[in-house]
Structure 1
Amino acid sequence: MIFGLLALSSCGGAGTVVDDHYYRLITEPNIPVAKSPSLDGLLVVQQFTADGPHSGRAIVYSRVDEPMELHSYRYHFWTEPPARLIQQQLVRSLRQAKVAQASHQQDPALREDYTLVGHLQRFEIVRSPTEPSAVVVMEVSLLKRGQSRPLMAQTYTAEVEIEGGSVSSGVVALTRALVQVQRALIKDIKGLSGP
């Protein structure tokens, strides 16, 4: 009986309970509105693809001295996988910028004129003792229905310094990096002439 009490007290003793933390991805890129849409028709944004740790909800990080190795924070998660969150944010930004007559998420009921597809290569915090940063790298293609070649295919990269050492500071920096990518993507779409 004494052994059982000792075992029980060691299990529920002075251990600290760590709460899970969940993060939204909210970008407000303040993109200028186009005078007239660059894309004449409906633009559909497909959910981006992602591989390995980037396809899950745990926030991913790497270390500057070990760039080939990826890690996931144990108690820090996105509310949804980043590829889904990025799709939602892109739709909002594309609507705000009015690059097409209408912009929507992928829906089988919609007959799109244009499709934006992408692959999330990096969406991570890079830990460093001196200059931590947040890195976003995405491959994006714009397709027009009936055409075999993309109107546009581009890799977008942004790196933003993290101010502070917390995971939430890293999330803020990832958001800023994504805003830079969104602005560059929308500028490229607006620059298309007569697609």
Structure 2
Amino acid sequence: MKTTRLFFGALFVMLLASCAQPPVPQDHFYRLHVQMSGKALANPPLAGTLEVARLLADGLTAGRPIVYSEAARPLEANEYHYHFWTDSPTVMLRDELVSYLRQAGVAKTVITPEMRLEPDFILTGKIKRLEQVRGTPSKVVIALEIALRDRREDRLLLVKTYRTEGETAGADIAAAVSGINLGLGKIFAAFVADISRI
């Protein structure tokens, strides 16, 4: 009888142990924060109100999971399961671009469509790439197509694809996000330089 109890007790403990699962990995969320380098423009090159529309993106790039690729397989894109942007990249990049353009002083006023004002200029764009490239060394690749239109005269002032690629300080996702912030800063600065020559 005692042996039977021990047997069933051991069996019960083994069944409980087999049902135990490892803890579910914790979700991680990341923000974009683009620092403006240099000084604001002395005179706004765009005389009037500039509206920055929500950027477009396709497929994986439009989603909240952070996108990565392997250096050995550059045509294959993947997304992390537990690492997310705090919002859609299309909204986050638009908001960072609005903040950057306001600080740079490119127009009298920089707004978003939600303000429901009649703009003089409209900026639209598309995120072509926004990803970490895992390899040795780890890097990030960003490509944005940006178009600027004068709504008053109904003419295109600028359309250009800006691309940057840079090594990151490490292989982790936090280093990739820092690299993306730096890369976006370079793209935004190049865009402001192009606007100032219009």
- Bigger share in helix: 2
**Shift, 1:4, TM fit:** 8.3
Letter in 2 for 1:142: L
1:164 equivalent in alignment to 2:170: yes
**Shift, 1:12, TM fit:** 2.7
Letter in 2 for 1:119: K
Once superposed, which parts of structure 1, at least 4 consecutive aligned residues long, lie more than 6 Å away? 1-5
Q: 1:4 to 1:51 in 2, by over 3 A?
A: farther
Q: 1:153 to 1:10 in 2, by over 3 A?
A: same
Return 5+ residue gaps in structure 2 as ranges: 1-7
- Separation (CA, whole Å) in 1 of partners of 2:181 and 2:139: 12
**Shift, 1:36, TM fit:** 1.1
Q: 1:71 to 1:47 in 2, by over 3 A?
A: same
Structure-1 residue corresponding to 2:19: 11
**Equivalent residues in 2 for 1:124-139, closer than 5 Å:** 124-128=131-135, 130-139=136-145
Two-structure CA RMSD over aligned residues (Å): 1.8
- Separation (CA, whole Å) in 2 of partners of 1:126 and 1:47: 25
Return 5+ residue gaps in structure 1 as ranges: none
**Shift, 1:8, TM fit:** 5.2
- Separation (CA, whole Å) in 2 of partners of 1:57 and 1:152: 29
Q: 1:5 to 1:47 in 2, by over 3 A?
A: farther
Relative to the length of structure 2, the TM-score reads: 0.90
Question: Percent of counterpart pairs with the same letter?
Answer: 34
**Shift, 1:105, TM fit:** 1.6
Letter in 2 for 1:28: Q
Q: What is the aligned residue count?
A: 190
**Equivalent residues in 2 for 1:149-160, closer than 5 Å:** 149-160=155-166
User: What do residues 42-95 of structure 1 show as CA deviations (whole Å, max 9, x unaligned)?
Assistant: 001001000000000000001111111100011000000111111001111100
User: What do residues 133-190 of structure 1 show as CA deviations (whole Å, max 9, x unaligned)?
Assistant: 1011000000111444310011100111011121111111111111110100111111
Q: 1:148 to 1:4 in 2, by over 3 A?
A: farther
Letter in 1 for 2:190: A
- Separation (CA, whole Å) in 2 of partners of 1:173 and 1:150: 31
Q: What's the secondary structure of 1:151's corresponding residue? A: strand
1:87 equivalent in alignment to 2:94: yes
Structure-1 residue corresponding to 2:3: none
Q: What's the secondary structure of 1:116's corresponding residue? A: strand
- Cα contact 1:125–1:135 (8 A) shared by 2: yes
1:26 equivalent in alignment to 2:33: yes
- Separation (CA, whole Å) in 2 of partners of 1:58 and 1:28: 23
Letter in 1 for 2:157: L
1:119 equivalent in alignment to 2:126: yes
- Cα contact 1:31–1:96 (8 A) shared by 2: no
Q: Which has the larger radius of gyration?
A: 2
- Separation (CA, whole Å) in 2 of partners of 1:85 and 1:188: 22
Q: 1:7 to 1:84 in 2, by over 3 A?
A: farther
Q: 1:31 to 1:82 in 2, by over 3 A?
A: farther
Q: What's the secondary structure of 2:33's corresponding residue? A: coil
- Cα contact 2:40–2:105 (8 A) shared by 1: yes
